[in-house]
Amino acid sequence: MTTMYNPLILIAEDDPDDALMLKDAFSEINQPTVTFLNNGKLLIEHIQQLLLTNKLPNLIVIDLNMPVLDGRGVIKELQKNTETKNIPLVVLSTTKSKEDIDSVMALGASEFFTKPASFSDLVGITNTIATKWLNT
């Protein structure tokens, strides 16, 4: 019997519609273990709780523009901690600005995707993310 690899994926997304689409997209590629937090501060607090149990997420996906603590703030926080700075961190945002993309990559993001208009394109992105960043 083979055991299914079930990575822990954390997603910080403040838009409920985008969060639902992401949840469905990850389900489409058989990655059902996704935890959603609606701002960067909650994400950081959740990771701090996971650290207490010596469990780290396998992947973090963040929106760039969120209330309380935005994507840049999240990246800076995660980069400060030796235990969290090597977790793959993918930014998924509506921005197409080269300056935004370059700045988050310079801060330490692993990859950047602009949110697509269609669900099938989003499934394609989640599949790319899973293939590249999750050892499935």
CB under 8 Å to 30, separation ≥6 — which residues?
none
pLDDT of 69 reads 93
Indicate the SS3 state at residue 111: strand
The 10s digit of each residue's pLDDT in 23-34 is 999 999 988 789
Instruction: Label each residue of 40-95 as H, E or C.
Output: HHHHHHHHHHHHHCCCCCCEEEECCCCCCCCHHHHHHHHHHCCCCCCCCEEEEECC
The 10s digit of each residue's pLDDT in 47-102 is 999 999 988 999 999 999 988 999 999 999 999 999 999 999 999 999 889 999 99
The domains found in the chain, sorted by start residue, are 9-133 (3.40.50.2300)
pLDDT of 7 reads 79
Percent of the chain with pLDDT over 70: 94
pTM of the model: 0.91
pLDDT of 33 reads 82
Nearest to 15 by CA among 59, 90, 66: 66
